[in-house]
Amino acid sequence: MIKLHGFALSNYYNKVKFVLLEYGIAFEEVTAKLPLAEAQLDQSPTGKVPFVETEQGFLCESEVIVEYLAACYPEKRIFSADPWQAAKERELITVIETHLELAVRELYPEAFFGGTVSADVKASVEKRLNRYIPSFKRLAKFAPYVGGEQFGIVDIAAFASLPLVAMATQKIYGRDFVADAGIDWKSYLKLVGERPAAQRVAAERKAYIEANA
């Protein structure tokens, strides 16, 4: 059985957990806190969560883990069976995670953890978001799901990361960049949140926050 290492505050941990739950893949959760212990760096060389333990060994990076699961369980259809549609799914995930969440992550110390972020960093992040949020909007359909009529892997990535982009910009700049772009992410989040896997992920994230407040 796959063992998922990490903690419920991490959006990328929750992304992998959502995939495992949504597609009915058996797994066990193992709490791993940051910074990782020296011995754990052999398991997650980047020092990040999540990472998984498999029969073959350890694997890190959330999107790599998802790709591994898709290859191991082709019958689950984690990605579309159509090569073009699967590529479009990967395209959207890359924009969400690389161009939106990774940019806004530089704001997290001040937005969520009581630290400070320099004016230069804020200006740099704002410039990137002003470029890539419209890019995301051009690609996304929200009809009603990000990729179209059917729920899919892109929605799991968006559920995990899109709210953080909105909330961090609201806290740092005083306005929600995602909503200002005309993306009704709150209604979308509510739609995805009706799924049992999403409800469990959200409930366990809330419980983790309350337990560690």
Number of domains in the chain: 2
CATH number of the structural domain spanning residue 47: 3.40.30.10
Shared domain for 6 and 90, answered yes or no, is no
- Both tokens of 8, joined, read 């419920």
Each residue's pLDDT tens digit, 79-97:
999 999 999 999 999 999 9
Give the C-alpha distances (Å, rounded to integers) separating 143 from 45, 95, 195: 39, 18, 17
pTM score over 0.75: yes
How far apart are alpha carbons 172 and 187 in whole angstroms? 23
Shared domain for 69 and 174, answered yes or no, is no
The last residue of one of the domains, among 76, 109, 134, is 76
Beta strands in 33-76, from DSSP E residues, in sequence order: 51-53, 58-60
Shared domain for 55 and 119, answered yes or no, is no
Shared domain for 37 and 113, answered yes or no, is no
Shared domain for 62 and 87, answered yes or no, is no
Backbone angles phi, psi at 47, to 5 degrees: 75, 20
Shared domain for 171 and 205, answered yes or no, is yes
How far apart are alpha carbons 77 and 59 in whole angstroms? 21
The last residue of one of the domains, among 15, 50, 76, is 76
Give residue 164's pLDDT. Answer: 98
CATH number of the structural domain spanning residue 189: 1.20.1050.10
Shared domain for 155 and 186, answered yes or no, is yes
Shared domain for 91 and 180, answered yes or no, is yes
Shared domain for 38 and 87, answered yes or no, is no
How far apart are alpha carbons 160 and 18 in whole angstroms? 9
Shared domain for 48 and 100, answered yes or no, is no
Give residue 213's pLDDT. Answer: 75
Shared domain for 43 and 107, answered yes or no, is no
Q: Which residues in the chain land under pLDDT 50?
A: none
Shared domain for 15 and 118, answered yes or no, is no
Q: Tell me the residue range of the domain where 8 lies.
A: 2-76
How far apart are alpha carbons 91 and 146 in whole angstroms? 12
Give residue 45's pLDDT. Answer: 97
